[in-house]
């Protein structure tokens, strides 16, 4: 039996883009990103700032792939 090739990430994203659940997931990621910016205002140390910045960067990269 010939194995069915798995789609790459862009193909998978395109297949899901029109679903309501996809929009819900994107909105959740945007909301979490904004929450981290709010946390940034409350950061008390440079270590806290770096952790939050890393989280925002990870979400930005995820949004770039999904958008």
pTM above 0.85, yes or no: no
Mean pLDDT of the chain: 91
Instruction: Report percent pLDDT > 90 for the chain.
Output: 69
CB distance 26 to 34 below 8 Å? no
Residue 52: pLDDT band with limits 50, 70, 90: very high
8/56: higher pLDDT: 56
Question: Where exactly are the structural domains of the chain?
Answer: 12-66
SS (H, E, C) the chain: CCCCCCCCHHHHHHHHCCCHHHHHHHHHHHHHHHHHHHHHHHCCCHHHHHHHHHHHHHHHHHHHHHC
Residue 56: pLDDT band with limits 50, 70, 90: very high
């Amino acid at each position: 039996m010939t194995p069915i090739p798995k789609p790459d990430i862009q193909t998978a994203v395109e297949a899901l883009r029109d679903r309501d659940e996809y929009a819900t997931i994107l909105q959740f990621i945007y909301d979490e990103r904004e929450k981290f910016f709010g946390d940034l205002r409350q950061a008390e140390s440079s270590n806290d700032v770096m952790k939050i910045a890393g989280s925002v960067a990870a979400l930005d990269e995820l949004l770039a792939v999904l958008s």
